[in-house]
Amino acid sequence: MTTLRVYVNKDGKLDKTEVTKSSGSDALDQAAVTFAEKSFKFSPYRVHRKPAAWFFDYSVDFKPSAK
């Protein structure tokens, strides 16, 4: 499992994604970052009606596909 910290700017755009807990595989960690950067879409977050930057942690658990 790879855990990411995802930073979103005040415009609701992904600003930065970093690995906070590695799966032990650089390839899987990079795949998790790529997934987040291509998949996540956000609306601007607001605090007291003003746009604000924010972050959250997200875990990606890779499972082998069943055949």
Over 80: is that where the pLDDT of 66 sits? no
Task: Find where tokens 């977050």 sit.
Answer: 45
Domain edges within the chain: 2-60
Are 19 and 33 in contact by the 8 Å Cβ rule? The answer is yes
Supply the pLDDT for residue 34: 95
Supply the pLDDT for residue 43: 86
- What's the predicted TM-score (pTM) here? 0.81
Q: pLDDT digit string (tens) for 8-63?
A: 999 999 999 999 999 999 999 999 999 999 998 888 889 999 999 999 999 999 88
Helix (H) or strand (E) run with residue 56 in it = strand 54-60
Residue with more model confidence, 11 or 67: 11
